[in-house]
Chain A
Amino acid sequence: MVGVTVAIVQFGGSNCDRDARRALSHVGVDAELVWHEEGLPEDPTGIMLPGGFSYGDYLRAGAIAANSPIMAEIREAAEEGVPVLGVCNGAQIGSESRLTPGAFTTNASARFQCERVHVRVENADTPWTANYDEGEVIELPIAHGEGRFEVTDDHLAELNDEDRVLFRYCDEEGNVTDEANPNGSKENVAGVLGESENVAVLMPHPERISLPDIGGTDGQGILQGFEA
């Protein structure tokens, strides 16, 4: 096998799967679309849970997909160290399946929000953030109605201690403020690591800001995490 082949897992209602493949291809990461019922291909070198509205967001965003059989395979691969990245609905699936901590729930605004935001890189010492500097501010698009990060205070303190918060919503200068928090996430958390650093989820869409022709490349570094 030449290069890296990442499995982008499609559920009914996934809609960022092809964008993800294109963006990954642009940064030199081979990826294939995998229908969840087919199961994972043998020895994937990475797994991406793309954005969308799997199962129509029924019950809670990500809840039904999180309980589909392929998730057991994904959990096993994650435990073996295979890189796993969840974006938007993929992040919701990640937290619902308890691959990653906390929950992503209804935005404080109670509205679907589709806009550009700034996030500050909190930990640049992970595969997903190694291309950035700690404290660097990047611009990423969000498009979600259920992106408010919720977690108990104790658990959040633990995540902070363990450096598992990857990104926080901030203003252009990198100040983490309530005004710069688009969805009411606790402590402005936009992305977190799972139990180990090969597993990460975030609500913003790096694949939508990775092709120079369509508005920026700030998201490339995150996708390059599959190569790290």
Chain B
Amino acid sequence: MNDHLKPMTAYTATVTVRLKQGVLDPEAETTKKALQRLGFELESLRSADRFELDLDAESADAAAERADEMAERLLANPTIHDYEVEVESRE
């Protein structure tokens, strides 16, 4: 390993997983109805899962790549989900 040659930076990768457009979201629908019962006006409601991954990587791209692989392998189900990855450096 040449880790000592390439300084690692601390990042937080945020993976947001959403149902693909057109895939029914019964929980969101139920939540929307509950809000309407409380008297709120709204057209529609979409929910998403958000995963915040603290990791060390050589670069923001490397951090994004790793988070992307995690989404592909486990965090999202490509049959029903789209996902996006955002990376920020962490203190």
Contacts and interface: CB of A to CB of B under 8 A. Distances in A.
Contact of B77 (A63, A106, A148, A152): A63
Given A106-B26, A106-B27, A150-B23, A67 B74 contact: yes
Nearest to A151: B79
Interface in B13-61: 23-27, 29-30
A184 B79 contact: no
B6 interface: no
Contacts, number: 36
Contacts of B73: 67
B75 interface: yes
B29 A110 contact: yes
Interface residues of A, number: 20
A96 B75 CA distance: 11
Contact of A105 (B30, B74, B80): B80
- Which of B23, B30, B80 has most A Cβ within 10 Å? B80
Interface string A158-189: 00000000000000000000000000100000
Interface in A45-69: 59-60, 63-64, 67
B74 A184 contact: no
Contacts of B80: 103, 105, 150
A96 B25 CA distance: 18
Contact of A148 (B24, B29, B30, B74): B24
B77 A108 contact: no
Contacts of A151: 79
B15 to A, nearest CB: 12
A63 B27 CA distance: 19
A102 interface: yes
Interface of B: 23-27, 29-30, 73-75, 77, 79-80
16 contacts: A59-B75, A60-B77, A63-B74, A63-B77, A67-B74, A95-B79, A102-B79, A105-B80, A106-B25, A107-B26, A109-B26, A110-B27, A150-B79, A151-B79, A152-B79, A184-B24
Given A108-B24, A109-B26, A184-B26, 20 more contacts: A59-B74, A59-B75, A60-B77, A63-B74, A67-B73, A96-B77, A102-B79, A103-B77, A103-B79, A103-B80, A105-B23, A106-B25, A106-B26, A108-B26, A110-B30, A148-B26, A150-B23, A150-B80, A151-B79, A152-B79
